[in-house]
Amino acid sequence: MNTCVKNSLSTFQKTKDQAESKVLLSLLSAVEGNPEVSQRRLSGDLGVALGLVNAYIKRCVVKGWIRAREVSPKRISYFLTPEGFSEKRRMVADYLSRSLNFFRDAKNQCEFAFELCLKNGWKNIALAGEGDLRDIAALVAVGAGINVVFLNMQENFDNIDAVIITDVINPQATYDALKNNFACEKLLVLKLLHISTQDIAGGRDE
């Protein structure tokens, strides 16, 4: 086998593995966000065939990441196990650590989020979560003319126009803790965090 063919196969396998990891991460996120989600709904949301969704779920069950419970003869609920939560965090951390484009992607998605805020007249924005992503968002906010505060979950939310999730460690839990205090359009999430909800601050592909 010549070098060109070997390189092509290696690139294909790497791309295939990355695509599969992305689907698995999205699947775990979807199940975490909605245990009642159907396989048909997952097929549409993940953009993969229904049969493939079933195969991925079976794999996750075998690995101990997901537990299935029959609610009725026609309905099954899926739950993330402690191992599933750990695996999802590991996948997110792995994605962020190996992504050479993390800073660029984070910057672009934060810029998009702040543009949305300005368009809606929101200038007092809370950042929910510590770490590098919060720091990137805070730097972008300066250039956008946005006033940001670091959210304390116990504080009064009255003076906050919107929230951007910047928690890299457990973004889904942070979103779930805040969604009862803010309208969905004011609780902005970034694609790179794989939060199980509609991505409002989707960012731009460049």
Residue 202 in any domain: the answer is no
Structure tokens at 98: 């190996």
Number of domains in the chain: 2
Q: Which of 69, 98, 127 is the last residue of a domain?
A: 98
Same domain, 106 and 87: no
Q: Rounded to the nearest 10 degrees, how much is the dihedral formed by the CA atoms of 14, 19, 21, 22? A: 140
Q: What is the pLDDT of residue 71?
A: 77
| DSSP designation for 73 | T
Q: What is the pLDDT of residue 10?
A: 47
Q: What is the CATH number of the domain that holds 173?
A: 3.40.50.980
Same domain, 159 and 141: yes
Q: How far is CA 83 from CA 25, 87, 171, in A?
A: 13, 6, 17
Q: Mention every residue, 6+ apart, whose C-beta is less than 8 A from residue 50.
A: 39, 40, 43
Same domain, 36 and 78: yes
Same domain, 113 and 180: yes
Same domain, 62 and 121: no
The residue-averaged pLDDT of 141-156 equals 82
Q: What is the pLDDT of residue 200?
A: 46
Please say if the pLDDT value at position 142 is more than 70: yes
More confident residue, 204 or 79: 79
Residue 170 in any domain: the answer is yes
Range of the domain at 37: 3-98
> pLDDT, tens digit, for every residue of 100-137?
677 888 999 999 999 999 999 998 999 998 888 999 99
How far apart (Å, rounded) are the C-alpha atoms in residues 66 and 74?
Answer: 19
Q: How far is CA 102 from CA 13, 45, 54, 99, 150, in A?
A: 22, 24, 31, 5, 21
Q: What is the CATH number of the domain that holds 82?
A: 1.10.10.10
Residue 180 in any domain: the answer is yes
pTM assigned to the model: 0.56
With beta carbons less than 8 A apart as the criterion, state whether 114 and 140 touch.
yes
The sheet that has 147-150: what strands, in order across it?
147-150, 124-128, 162-165, 187-188
Q: How far is CA 195 from CA 76, 97, 158, in A?
A: 22, 17, 24
Q: Which of 53, 73, 98 is the last residue of a domain?
A: 98
Q: Which of 78, 98, 118 is the last residue of a domain?
A: 98
Same domain, 10 and 75: yes
Helix (H) or strand (E) holding 82: helix 82-98
Strand partners of residue 88:
none
Burial 148-165 (b: 16+ CB within 10 A, else e): beebeeeeeeeebbbbbb
Please say if the pLDDT value at position 20 is more than 90: no
Same domain, 28 and 10: yes
